[in-house]
Structure 1
Amino acid sequence: MERTQVGIVGAGPAGLLLAHLLHAEGIDVVLLEARSRDYVENRVRAGVCEHTTVALLRDLGLADRLDREGLPHGGFSLRFDRADHRIDLAALTGRSITVYGQQEIVKDLIAARLATGQAIEFEAADVALHDLDTEAPRITWTDRDGRARELRCDVIAGCDGFHGVSRPAIPAGARTFYDHTYPFAWLGVLAKTPPSHEELIYARHERGFALHSMRSPDVTRLYLQVDPAERLEDWSDARIWDELAARLSVDGDFTLREGPLLEKSITPMRSFVTEPMRYGRLFLAGDAAHIVPPTGAKGMNLAVADVRRLAPALVALLDKNDTQLADGYAEQCLRRVWRAEHFSYYMTTMLHRAPDADPFADRLQLSQLRYTASSTAAATSLAENYVGLPFD
């Protein structure tokens, strides 16, 4: 049987950043990932990094490529009533966001870990967690060569996402799920074309929500609100571009730049929280513990906030047998999680057209948007949540 201090399940942003933080403090880590390196480095995910996330990566010396290739944004547009209404993040908060794909952060973190001589066990199959309520939890798996492996740990960190094995390993009686499913989904496309606008556009339209984002100066990310039952094969490239043009249209100077579609997907929208985020010697972080709809751009940033709090808690626990931070981990994380859940719900319900919305609900939605765009107080509240609240 192999031995380590912390076994981390999942090599996404949460698991990789946690491994980096623990290694810097001299904590021994084994990092397992079910997928291949190529898969995790190229799966397109979120692209908005909060001010606090960027600052942390810079402090850790992990932001060289982010600073070279990331796209700083000092604001974004709320588009409704056929007009742009800019939320000036920099003026309202003194902070900004950076557009830099999650997969790029994953590449940077993998490179940083491998540069220190630390391995990542990719393509770990049949991962299972055992003895979580003891001081010697275990992880079993089958490695890429087909060998059965077993790892004894002091602590296990479950960073393996919503569909991973970590959260289900907690006994049903020791966990509570809070779940909300939205009556719409996002049809997302990646287009080989320069962005049509210098900043993100969140558009509320009577035909449904649309989002204009970007991944680089030459690649645009775009989304359409659709029914969850829609099928990709029913959405031709021409239909997608026509619908985007309709929902992003304004009375003014705006031209939607079209180009070849590199990728299409349909993603359901949900909010989900597990309480608590700890069971025995298992600590959950990131999507393993909570999901937010992407409207508020909080998913990856919450994962970063989780492990920033988890790392010092584990160092204190393992180096000094000090349990205070570990015992408070779940409660402290959940304060931020629920704030992000509320903000994401607010952004989602303010911008999406509910399928059963009556004219009264439509007018309320427009009233909220108009107030947000015209009130400094309302715009500041939106802006400070969007750029990222302080970690502490």
Structure 2
Amino acid sequence: MVTRTQVGIIGAGPAGLLLSHLLHLAGIESVVLESRSRDDIESTIRAGVLEHATVELLKAIGLGDRMQREGAVHDGIYLRFNGGTHRIDFTELIDRNITVYAQHEVIKDLVAARLATGGQIVFEADDVQVHDIDTERPRLTYRDGETEAALHCDFIAGCDGFHGVSRPLIGGPQRQDFTRVYPLGWLGILVEAPPSSDELIYAHHERGFSLVSTRSPELQRMYLQCDPNDKVEQWSDDRIWSELHTRLATHDGWTPKVGRIVQKNVVAMRSFVAEPMQHGRLFIAGDAAHIVPPTGAKGLNLAVADVQVLARSFGEHYAGRGSQALDTYTPTALRRVWRAEHFSWWMTSMLHSFADADPFQQRLQLAQLEQVCSSRSAARTLAENYVGLPFNAQLN
């Protein structure tokens, strides 16, 4: 079975699906190949903090209705340390905010939109392989059930994550991988309980970082810093609640809402950037190109930013305005990537406890937190980066 399209896209995560939809709106054909089933990608629960620009983009392309009904708009966050709570007011500082809306809900909206407009998504595409990216006729091969299939394209977009087939094919003498592995993990839990807070709480404590988030009126998301090699079996419900109460304790006696824990998982933390993000007619985006620790809430938003640049670059090409935008995709995208990498590293370094930290370093962390909470300019810097730069800021 042989088919043809203009842009072949590997991966039906937020990056691949959004790219496909943006290309559709620009009159450019695409086909998305995804190794998992539709049910799998729509039911894999992952947190989602959407930057202001991400929200505005989804609204502008007609994908904001359910997000606006069910997402929670947050005008700030709380920083907690030394038993005190301090609010960073995004709206007052920079007149923008964020929306808490889970990543799998974004995926549901994108899948529905693509299928409603006749978009082609091949679910359960096995053994996807990339060919001929150094020619003008690249192609993808895969198995669709028992059928061997080939997809001929003008370009290929690898949106298939860190472990996908695309990133290893980005080669050449300029290829560099930048990696930082943190001696930290997050134990994430889903709790059947009402919200503990109206906005996210980022808590620094000598026993480790903790985060209070929300998912819905009935289901909440919380995180505890742990050893990255921990197993969920090591964390009983009693141990989890004991740690959360200790790390989140305040002088006024605040406590989180307790409920039945319905999910636990441990996530290791690392930073990663692949340079360049293109080779021949292959372009990578999202987790295929970069990973950030979750402290800065940048992963999904960086994927959106990448494909917004990439879709605009394809649009320039197919409109007959040349290849300059495609040729400069890497430096354009990387300006935002490295800004987000720095912010995520900074938030991680400021809020977590480190086994090798001496008293001097611990005092530096507290001094940094106190500055952010007492200096308007420092708070504004945090707010600008957390809420996210406008997309046009990376394109100029």
TM-score category (smaller protein): over 0.9
Instruction: Mark the CA change 1:362 to 1:73 in structure 2 (over 3 Å): closer, same or farther.
Output: same
Sequence identity of aligned pairs in percent? 59
The answer for the alignment partner of 1:12 in structure 2 is: 13
TM-score (norm: length of structure 2):
0.97
Residue 229, structure 1, aligned to residue 229, structure 2: yes
Q: Structure 1, residues 335-363: CA drift from partner, whole Å, max 9, x if none?
A: 00000000000000000001111111100
Q: 90-99 or 248-257: which moved more?
A: 248-257
- The structural deviation recorded for 1:258 is 1.1
- The structural deviation recorded for 1:174 is 5.0
TM-score (norm: length of structure 1):
0.98
Residue 77, structure 1, aligned to residue 67, structure 2: no
What is the identity, as a one-letter code, of the residue corresponding to 2:57? L
Aligned equivalents of 1:241 and 1:42: distance in 2? Answer: 26
Instruction: Mark the CA change 1:172 to 1:182 in structure 2 (over 3 Å): closer, same or farther.
Output: farther
**Cα contact 1:46–1:300 (8 A) shared by 2:** no
Alignment map for 1:275-286 (pairs within 5 Å):
275-286=275-286
Aligned equivalents of 1:322 and 1:153: distance in 2? Answer: 18
Aligned equivalents of 1:245 and 1:192: distance in 2? Answer: 17
Aligned equivalents of 1:308 and 1:205: distance in 2? Answer: 38
- The structural deviation recorded for 1:194 is 1.2
- The structural deviation recorded for 1:3 is 1.1
Residue 171, structure 1, aligned to residue 171, structure 2: yes
What is the identity, as a one-letter code, of the residue corresponding to 2:56? A
- The structural deviation recorded for 1:228 is 1.2
**Cα contact 1:49–1:97 (8 A) shared by 2:** yes
Alignment map for 1:98-177 (pairs within 5 Å):
98-143=99-144, 145-171=145-171, 173=173, 175-177=175-177
Aligned equivalents of 1:224 and 1:102: distance in 2? Answer: 20
Aligned equivalents of 1:321 and 1:378: distance in 2? Answer: 42
The answer for the alignment partner of 2:47 in structure 1 is: 46
**Cα contact 2:76–2:88 (8 A) shared by 1:** yes
Aligned equivalents of 1:274 and 1:224: distance in 2? Answer: 29
The answer for the alignment partner of 1:312 in structure 2 is: 312
Residue 193, structure 1, aligned to residue 193, structure 2: yes
Aligned equivalents of 1:166 and 1:383: distance in 2? Answer: 34
- The structural deviation recorded for 1:10 is 0.5
Aligned equivalents of 1:5 and 1:211: distance in 2? Answer: 43
Aligned equivalents of 1:146 and 1:307: distance in 2? Answer: 32
The answer for the alignment partner of 2:209 in structure 1 is: 209
- The structural deviation recorded for 1:255 is 2.2
**Cα contact 2:248–2:255 (8 A) shared by 1:** no
**Cα contact 1:75–1:88 (8 A) shared by 2:** yes
- The structural deviation recorded for 1:45 is 1.7
**Cα contact 2:170–2:277 (8 A) shared by 1:** no
Aligned equivalents of 1:82 and 1:241: distance in 2? Answer: 17
The answer for the alignment partner of 1:180 in structure 2 is: 180
Q: 311-320 or 81-90: which moved more?
A: 311-320
- The structural deviation recorded for 1:299 is 0.4
Aligned equivalents of 1:312 and 1:349: distance in 2? Answer: 35
- The structural deviation recorded for 1:241 is 1.2
Aligned equivalents of 1:178 and 1:148: distance in 2? Answer: 36
Aligned equivalents of 2:322 and 2:87: distance in 1? Answer: 48
The answer for the alignment partner of 2:287 in structure 1 is: 287
Aligned equivalents of 1:147 and 1:170: distance in 2? Answer: 28
- The structural deviation recorded for 1:59 is 0.7
Aligned equivalents of 1:141 and 1:89: distance in 2? Answer: 46
- The structural deviation recorded for 1:170 is 2.3
SS in 1 for 2:328: helix
SS in 1 for 2:263: strand
- The structural deviation recorded for 1:231 is 1.4
Q: Structure 1, residues 200-237: CA drift from partner, whole Å, max 9, x if none?
A: 00000010000000111111100010111211111111
SS in 1 for 2:215: strand
**Cα contact 1:292–1:299 (8 A) shared by 2:** yes
Q: Structure 1, residues 101-146: CA drift from partner, whole Å, max 9, x if none?
A: 0110000000001111222101111111111111111111111x22
Aligned equivalents of 1:70 and 1:137: distance in 2? Answer: 40
Aligned equivalents of 1:160 and 1:216: distance in 2? Answer: 29
Aligned equivalents of 2:162 and 2:260: distance in 1? Answer: 31
The answer for the alignment partner of 2:240 in structure 1 is: 240
**Cα contact 1:187–1:224 (8 A) shared by 2:** yes
Query: Could you list the runs of 5+ residues in structure 1 that have no partner in the other structure?
Result: none
Aligned equivalents of 1:86 and 1:267: distance in 2? Answer: 27
Equivalenced residue count is 391
Spell out structure 1 runs of 4+ moving beyond 6 A: none
SS in 1 for 2:355: coil
Query: Could you list the runs of 5+ residues in structure 2 that have no partner in the other structure?
Result: none
What is the identity, as a one-letter code, of the residue corresponding to 2:338? W
What is the identity, as a one-letter code, of the residue corresponding to 2:25? A
Residue 89, structure 1, aligned to residue 87, structure 2: no
Q: Structure 1, residues 270-305: CA drift from partner, whole Å, max 9, x if none?
A: 000010111010011111100000000000001111
The answer for the alignment partner of 2:28 in structure 1 is: 27
Aligned equivalents of 1:50 and 1:271: distance in 2? Answer: 20
